[in-house]
Amino acid sequence: MLSVRGLSVTVEGRRLLDGVDVEVAAGEVVGLVGPNGAGKSTLLRAATGVRAAQGEVALAGRPLASYRNGSLFRTVAVVQQMPEAPDAMTVQELVLLGRHPHLGLLRREGPRDHAIALASMQRVGCEAFAQRMLGTLSGGERRRAFIARALAQQPRLLLLDEPTSGLDADAQAQILALLRALAAEGVAVLVVVHDLTFAAAYCDRLVLMQQGRVVASGAPAQVVTQEHVRAVYGPHVRVIPHPESGAPLVVPAVS
């Protein structure tokens, strides 16, 4: 669904991305991990053309440049890191904005658009607060509302930049489980996750980045290893296997 090859971004002589390759297929959740400044957000922006870049990007089998006038966003939806919206806007109003790429200059949202918006809200479990204003929501509720807005675009590829940051552990697990469920319905998901343990537990594959390059990619157990984690993050962490599932856990390196 998403194929990125040799993607590079240079800003004022600084290489933010350096020959990055990433593939995301329909039905899988790929986690993008790495320390701050590794280029994860830049990769998401470059993949949709919001940030200019060199290299090849193909979405749903078509090169990025072949999408015109925002038609790309009928196929791809992005939930950025700290999305903003007026506090007085209701969840439903926000989610309906997700229909914008599908509507022409003169067309209003019809019953079908309202039905899709409602289905999106139900899918993420925010239909109960559809009429509440965004300013009154908790952090987790707010994330859900923005994911519902993205789903209203009916994307085949969903890009999310740290949808779990700042949430408590249970809310993080809920958001990531939701992404898994969406993938099971055929959506391709590329998600930036800060927490390596959560990323390893919920993603099919991980891409570990550092200073604009891909350091490792593959199954979580092959990417989240003591060797990789210490090389990228530093010596103060350890990777141990989960006592039940065997999934990698990243813990402090104190005895």
Partner 1 sequence: MTIRGLRLGRVGEAHATAAPWRVPALLGTAALAVLLALVTLLALTQGSADIPAGTVLRVLVDSLPWVEVETSASDSWERILLQIRLPRVLAACLVGAALSLSGSAYQGIFRNPLAEPYLLGVAAGAGLAVAIAVVSPLPVDAYGLGWVPILAFIGGLSTVLIVYAVARSGGMLDGGSLILGGVALSAVWAGATSFLIINGSDTVSQPILSFLFGGFNTSSWEKVLVATPYILVGTLVIALHARALNVLQLDEEQAEHLGVDVSRTKLIVLAAASLVAATAVAVAGVIGFVGLIVPHAIRMLFGGDYRRTLAASLLGGALLMVSVDLLARTIIQPQEVPVGVLTAMLGGPFFLLLLRSRKVSL
Any contact of residue 71 with partner 1 (CB under 8 A)?
yes
**Which of residues 48 and 164 has its CB atom nearest to partner 1 in the complex?**
48
The answer to whether the beta carbons of residues 219 and 188 sit under 8 Å apart is no
Q: Which of 97, 215, 237, 247 binds partner 1 (CB under 8 A)?
A: 97
Number of residues that bind partner 1 (CB under 8 A): 56
Question: Using CB under 8 A, which of 16, 38, 151, 178 touches partner 1?
Answer: 151
What's the closest the beta carbon of residue 98 comes to partner 1, in angstroms? 7
Among 42, 120, 172, 174, binds partner 1 (CB under 8 A): 120
Residue 59 · residue 8 · CB < 8 Å: no
Among 10, 90, 165, 211, interactor with partner 1 by CB under 8 A: 90
Which of 17, 57, 64, 130 lies at the binding interface for partner 1 (CB under 8 A)? 130
CA distance 230 to 214: 15
Interacting residue with partner 1 among 15, 132, 180, 238 (CB under 8 A): 132
Of the candidates 116, 119, 82, 123, which has an alpha carbon nearest to the alpha carbon of residue 99?
Answer: 116
Contacting residue, 21, 56, 58, 85, with partner 1 by CB under 8 A: 85
- Cα–Cα separations (whole angstroms), residue 221 to 34, 35, 157, 205, 247: 15, 18, 25, 9, 7
83 binds partner 1 (CB under 8 A): yes
Pairing verdict, β 188-192 and 205-210 = unpaired
Residue 112's nearest CA partner among 94, 95, 130, 99 is: 99
Closer to partner 1 at the Cβ: 10 or 90?
90
Strands 248-252 and 237-241: antiparallel
Query: Can residue 170 be called a binding residue for partner 1 (CB under 8 A)?
Result: no
11, two tokens: 């800003």
Task: Pick between residue 111 and residue 235 the one whose CB is nearest to partner 1.
Answer: 111
Rounded to a whole number of angstroms, the minimum distance from the CB of residue 77 to partner 1 is 7
- Judged by CB under 8 A, which of 131, 177, 241, 245 binds partner 1? 131
- Torsion, Cα of 164, 170, 171, 177 (10° steps): 80
Q: How far is residue 17 from each of residues 20, 41, 142, 197, 218, measured CA to CA in Å?
A: 7, 10, 30, 25, 19
- Could you tell me the two tokens for 245? 């599932």
Q: Is 46 in the site for partner 1 (CB under 8 A)?
A: no
Residues lying near partner 1 in the complex (CB under 8 A)? 45, 48, 50, 69-74, 77-78, 80, 83-86, 88-90, 92-94, 97-98, 100-101, 103, 105-106, 108, 111, 114-116, 118-123, 127-133, 136, 151, 153-154, 156, 182, 185-187
